[in-house]
Structure 1
């Protein structure tokens, strides 16, 4: 049986709101997960009062320690681990020494490529940390630079840090038989506006009137496949009767929406 390969892309931006709007969101409790197991080579460097910087073994993050952060030679390390955060991208990174609140802010820089966004808008990326109890928090002051392709935040202590997406479409890709169908849904990451570092957890985003397209054609057609949106934040892709000339096909949704929540 011939298959149609479908790539699903989310082209949108999110703003936060502490009140409900026309959307209905289904919220779960803030995420608490296990600590990710090591998944890569640990990088270590001894840094003294003069400060310094170094990168993870995979080159994905850089830790910048300013002058005067420590008073004596201290061994700093970055250990790549499994990323268990809601909507996590790539690996998580556990840094040592733990249990120290530094007098100066350290800077943590995530590097990303277009391929690593999974087709989603970079504007949907954020940075999150995990506390000792396994709870995840979004760092509100993370700064995105789409030209340099970096995500940067000031941190005061060490934990596990990740790059995550504020919203994703599930699944991100799939194979669909001709005349077959595929249900898609948008899954967000809950961010509580009441705290500086917001609690993070999964939620289903239920926004009406999202603009779905197939290969750039609004709602698609009989040649590319048809996408039918529902008011539950999901959509059904109905594959055409034969393999389209452009295969894989790209399903996209565009919408500016708020990650509204109830307290």
Structure 2
């Protein structure tokens, strides 16, 4: 389904990019109020820097969230370029960190290309057609750059500029979930759609005004794909209710079709599509589950899913993932909430873990020179079962050793579980 959604959004984006232009004489719906300055961001990560000369070059953050392409002839001499992650002061419409680009107060001889690379996860609540970028000036005002283009199928936003400041990836319209992103049976989540308002200026780059809620006139319909239910009508907000029974993990997608939102953003030409949509995916969890990751690969235990009380304050949990030849066994000493550390010897408040993967066995205990040792890790119990039918709920995180010896190979495992207690 996601692939089809991306293709539809990409096709709409192509139509929009071919037909949209900014007309300063066009009539826009007024913003609710004027743009206001906000504090500049503060550094919250390591900067990267690179010396680039007249021949041009590229500098990017690790992971390529933002890339600067400096063309030949942009500078006359070797120049230190840097990208400093800073806090997001734009708020709900900003995505992730802002970035302080240096050198500032320099007018480059040619346009520098700023490339933001976004992920599919960052489209949750919005769609590619609404992805853009913004920059903040020294006075604290945020601006919408007129030279921003979105390549939806490449998951990129590109901007041409001759000056540097603080920049951030944005979405102009977003559906927000005021509840949890993962629901169990009968739980609910409330949704509403927000959009960015703009204050026109005499230059090409409008100011960003306050974030406003779409009106009922903008809402065509709400739709649900998957289990659960939503209300009827064209209200500006919507409540989703998870089904009363969830047998296995799943996804419910809430989407809303909007009309005339583009009129508030891009001044569309006659004949241009006036409808657009955004969506949000809710994860549904069954009554019982054990989900874990080992070296980045995710597994779900759906066979022999058991939590057993041995009657002496000890709980044993085990499960298997079908078709993947992997299993987990946990022994927890002390049936009470809290962090139960891996230990070399069993004692109250400790835990032991064993993970089977294909023909390999990874354990939290191993021997070194005939002495028991323990890897680093723990099982956290957040809710205990006092009687059969209650649920044991918790999380797992730690290294597991493959074999013995004083320097065994280790594998990092994380997981979470909710299992009905048996006796």
Q: Do both proteins adopt the same fold according to a TM-score greater than 0.5, normalized to the shorter chain?
A: yes
Question: Which residue is 1:4 aligned to?
Answer: none
Question: Which residue is 2:122 aligned to?
Answer: 116
TM-score by length of structure 2 reads 0.51
Number of matched pairs:
240
Q: Please tell me whether residue 184 in structure 1 is matched to residue 187 in structure 2.
A: no
Q: Which has the larger radius of gyration?
A: 2
Question: Which residue is 2:160 aligned to?
Answer: 154
Shift of 1:154: 0.5
Question: Which residue is 2:88 aligned to?
Answer: 83
Shift of 1:255: 2.3
Which one has the bigger helix percentage? 2
Bigger relative contact order, structure 1 or 2 (CA pairs below 8 A, ≥6 apart): 1
Shift of 1:140: 2.2
* Structure 2 residue ranges without an equivalent (≥5): 1-8, 265-423
Shift of 1:248: 4.0
In the alignment, is the contact (CA less than 8 A) between 2:31 and 2:197 conserved in 1?
no
2:239 & 2:234 partners in 1: Cα distance? 8
RMSD of aligned residue pairs (Cα, Å): 2.9
1:84-99 aligned at under 5 Å gives the runs 84-86=89-91, 87-99=93-105
Question: Which residue is 1:204 aligned to?
Answer: 213
Shift of 1:246: 6.3
For residues 107-138 of structure 1, the C-alpha deviation after alignment (integer angstroms, 9 at most, x for no partner) is 11111121222252111101100000111011
**Relative to 1, partners in 2 of residues 1:57 and 1:246: Cα closer, same or farther, differing over 3 Å?**
closer
1:34-45 aligned at under 5 Å gives the runs 34-45=39-50
For residues 78-124 of structure 1, the C-alpha deviation after alignment (integer angstroms, 9 at most, x for no partner) is 11112222411121110111111222211111111212222521111
Pick from 129, 132, 135 the counterpart of residue 129 of structure 1: 135
In the alignment, is the contact (CA less than 8 A) between 1:214 and 1:227 conserved in 2?
no
SS in 1 for 2:154: coil
Question: Which residue is 2:329 aligned to?
Answer: none
1:1-263 aligned at under 5 Å gives the runs 18-20=27-29, 27-86=32-91, 87-171=93-177, 174=180, 179=186, 181-194=188-201, 195-201=203-209, 202-208=211-217, 209-215=219-225, 224-231=228-235, 233-243=236-246, 247-258=250-261
In the alignment, is the contact (CA less than 8 A) between 1:226 and 1:239 conserved in 2?
no
**Relative to 1, partners in 2 of residues 1:26 and 1:96: Cα closer, same or farther, differing over 3 Å?**
closer
SS in 1 for 2:261: strand
2:255 & 2:160 partners in 1: Cα distance? 34
In the alignment, is the contact (CA less than 8 A) between 2:177 and 2:189 conserved in 1?
no
* Structure 1 residue ranges without an equivalent (≥5): 1-10, 217-222
Shift of 1:182: 3.7
1:57 & 1:176 partners in 2: Cα distance? 33
**Relative to 1, partners in 2 of residues 1:166 and 1:229: Cα closer, same or farther, differing over 3 Å?**
farther
**Relative to 1, partners in 2 of residues 1:168 and 1:101: Cα closer, same or farther, differing over 3 Å?**
same
TM-score by length of structure 1 reads 0.79
2:195 & 2:40 partners in 1: Cα distance? 21
SS in 1 for 2:109: coil
1:236 & 1:228 partners in 2: Cα distance? 10
In the alignment, is the contact (CA less than 8 A) between 2:186 and 2:243 conserved in 1?
yes
Deviates more, 1:46-55 or 1:192-201: 192-201
